[in-house]
């Protein structure tokens, strides 16, 4: 009661808010310039997020998409700063321009615009294609519309065979994806590769089971596959190791499956196929290693590693690859040599 007496209450005096000197500022937080919206639907929803500030008071904010007003606001909890999240549920395929305009009490206004794109859902280009990773600025697999798990700090090459970009490996870095929907009696992987021979050995693509007997340096080669490279600064050999459930088979083409990084500085196309009776490795559409095989076992093989042997093929040091990798496609059938060459001809610059 004592605290509420008049002697303890400060007198309230009006303060002149001052003159309105500057126009509002507008910052669009999502989407940003160049954003690609990838979903499995032709029409989707997004949360448009932006912030507007003014030195005196914001009067109105309007939101336009492709020149058409889709929202307006004239009541704000903080009259000098408005943080807005607006759900828009009718975004169609194609390129879009988003413009946010803020106007203050004196009539001064500011607008800010960003260009972004809603990319049409990817439709597999080839029969039995079950995985496609273009690495065009993100690590999204376009058939499942799912992002890979990023370990470390991989990057992007700033160049690519298609789309203008590619995966760029880095030390202690790689991607993983679940193998759900990828595994069958037959398997093929195709991709473009620009080699960096440092380090001298590295994993490239690996689907391996856990190794409970050697958990800190896994190397269980009785199931799944391991596609990797090893050698020196002037000679790198690509090798495939595949497990049938109880034993392993090697497909090492030696000199035929090797490149000299001091000479081969451009993109090369790599592929390998696995069937119930044979395996083959290809470089630029040519067979460099092949042989009989009893059929692969996928038991406990639930992780696809891209750009490293980690976490399940590490004992021999086939760790992160610092090379570039582009246009990775996986198939649940064994591609023929003609099919591999057709992909090369369709994708090469």
The b/e string for 57-78 (b: 16+ C-beta within 10 A; e otherwise) is ebbbbbbbbeeeeeeebeebee
Q: What is the mean pLDDT of the chain?
A: 93
Which residue from 60, 306, 11, 36 is spatially nearest to 169, judged by alpha carbons?
306
Whether residue 172 contacts residue 255, with contact meaning beta carbons closer than 8 Å, is answered with: no
Q: What is the pLDDT of residue 17?
A: 60
Q: What is the pLDDT of residues 310-345, one digit of tens each?
A: 999 999 999 999 999 999 999 999 999 999 999 999
Q: How confident is the model at residue 235 (pLDDT cuts 50, 70, 90)?
A: very high
For the record, the structure tokens of 305 come out as 């590693």
Provide the sign of the torsion angle of the four alpha carbons 328, 330, 331, 333, taken in this order: positive
Q: What is the pLDDT of residue 164?
A: 86
Whole-angstrom Cα distance, residue 223 to residue 244? 6
Domain ranges in the chain with CATH number 2.60.40.10: 25-119
Residue 112 has pLDDT above 90, yes or no: yes
Work out the percent of the chain whose per-residue pLDDT is above 90.
87
Q: What is the pLDDT of residue 349?
A: 66
Q: What is the pLDDT of residues 265-295, one digit of tens each?
A: 899 999 999 999 999 999 999 999 999 999 9
Residue 14 has pLDDT above 80, yes or no: no
Q: Can you tell me the mean pLDDT for 22-46?
A: 93
pTM: 0.81
Q: What is the pLDDT of residue 57?
A: 92
Q: What is the pLDDT of residues 195-225, one digit of tens each?
A: 999 999 999 999 999 999 999 999 999 999 9
Q: Which architecture characterizes domain 129-347 according to CATH? A: Sandwich (2.60)
Domain ranges in the chain with CATH number 2.60.120.200: 129-347
Looking at per-residue confidence, does 38 or 246 come out higher? 246
Q: What is the pLDDT of residues 122-155, one digit of tens each?
A: 999 999 999 999 998 899 999 999 999 999 999 9
Within 8 A by CB and 6+ apart from 37, the residues are 31, 44, 46, 91, 116, 117, 118, 119
Residue 2 has pLDDT above 60, yes or no: no
Residue 1 has pLDDT above 50, yes or no: no
What superfamily does domain 25-119 belong to in CATH? Immunoglobulins (2.60.40.10)
Within 8 A by CB and 6+ apart from 208, the residues are 218, 220, 221, 223, 224, 225, 226, 301, 303, 305, 309, 312, 313
Work out the percent of the chain whose per-residue pLDDT is above 70.
94
Residue 9 has pLDDT above 70, yes or no: no
Residue 15 has pLDDT above 60, yes or no: no
Q: What is the pLDDT of residue 161?
A: 95
Q: What is the pLDDT of residue 264?
A: 82
């Amino acid at each position: 009661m004592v605290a509420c007496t008049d002697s303890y209450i400060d007198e309230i005096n009006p303060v002149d808010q001052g003159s309105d000197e500057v126009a509002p500022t507008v910052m669009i937080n999502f989407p940003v310039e160049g954003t690609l919206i990838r979903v499995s639907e032709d029409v989707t929803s997004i949360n448009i997020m932006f912030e507007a500030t003014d030195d005196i008071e914001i009067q109105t904010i309007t939101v336009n998409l492709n020149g058409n007003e889709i929202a307006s606001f004239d009541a704000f909890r903080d009259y000098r700063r408005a943080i807005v999240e607006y759900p828009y549920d009718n975004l169609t395929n194609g390129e879009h321009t988003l413009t946010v305009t803020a106007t203050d009490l004196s009539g001064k206004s500011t607008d800010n615009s960003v260009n972004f794109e809603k990319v049409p859902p990817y439709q597999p280009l080839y029969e039995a294609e079950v995985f496609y990773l273009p690495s065009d600025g993100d690590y999204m697999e376009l058939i499942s519309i799912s992002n890979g798990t990023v370990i470390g700090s991989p990057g992007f090459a700033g160049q690519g065979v298609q789309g203008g970009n590619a995966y760029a490996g880095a030390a202690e870095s790689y991607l993983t994806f679940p193998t759900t929907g990828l595994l069958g009696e037959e398997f093929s992987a195709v991709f473009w590769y620009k080699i960096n021979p440092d380090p001298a050995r590295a994993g490239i693509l690996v689907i391996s089971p856990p190794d409970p007997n050697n958990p800190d340096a896994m190397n269980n080669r009785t199931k799944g596959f391991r596609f990797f490279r090893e050698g020196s600064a002037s000679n790198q050999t690509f090798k495939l190791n595949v497990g049938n459930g109880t034993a392993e088979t090697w497909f090492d083409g030696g000199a035929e499956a090797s490149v000299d990084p001091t000479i081969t500085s451009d993109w090369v196309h790599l592929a390998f196929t696995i069937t119930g009776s044979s395996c083959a490795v290809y470089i630029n559409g040519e067979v460099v290693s092949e042989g009989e095989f009893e059929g692969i076992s996928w038991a406990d093989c639930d992780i696809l590693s891209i750009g490293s042997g980690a976490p399940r093929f590490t004992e021999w040091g086939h760790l992160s690859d610092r090379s570039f990798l582009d246009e990775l496609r996986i198939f649940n059938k064994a591609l023929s040599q003609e099919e591999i060459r057709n992909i090369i001809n369709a994708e090469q610059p």
